[in-house]
């Protein structure tokens, strides 16, 4: 099922292979701000687990009219009953 919300400022869709690298870049920036070090490969593995199995959660990506990634929202349940969610937005948006 293709889920898409279009607003005058952004388009919101499920994260896919086309947007995954940009989304990982947002996660890397967030972790750097908190002085947390983790490898890009580890971030990719977690993201691919979530987007590859809907039982594990979901990830949404917001794109500016020019196609650039400006935000991500996510929720997951990778650890049994533990649920986690969050939202990252590029500051200038």
What would the pLDDT profile of 10-27 be if each residue is shown by its tens digit? 899 999 999 999 999 999
Specify the CATH number of the domain 4-89.
3.40.630.30
Q: Of 54, 78, 79, 68, whose CA–CA distance to 26 is shortest?
A: 68
What's the predicted TM-score (pTM) here? Answer: 0.78
pLDDT in the model for residue 87: 82
pLDDT in the model for residue 40: 94
Q: How confident is the model at residue 72 (pLDDT cuts 50, 70, 90)?
A: very high
Domain locations in the chain as residue ranges? 4-89
In sequence order, the β-bridge partners of residue 82 are 79
pLDDT in the model for residue 79: 62
- Matching residue, tokens 């349940």: 77
CA 34 to chain centre: 18
| Alpha helix positions (H), 1-93 | 20-33, 40-52
């Amino acid at each position: 099922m293709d889920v898409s919300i279009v607003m005058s400022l952004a388009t919101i869709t499920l994260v896919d292979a086309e947007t995954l690298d940009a989304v990982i870049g947002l996660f890397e920036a967030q972790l750097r701000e908190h002085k947390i070090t983790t490898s890009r490969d580890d971030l990719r593995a977690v993201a691919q687990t979530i987007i590859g199995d809907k039982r594990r959660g979901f990830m949404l990506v917001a794109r500016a009219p020019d196609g650039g990634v400006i935000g991500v929202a996510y929720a997951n349940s990778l650890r049994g009953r533990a649920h986690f969610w969050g939202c990252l937005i590029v500051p200038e948006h």
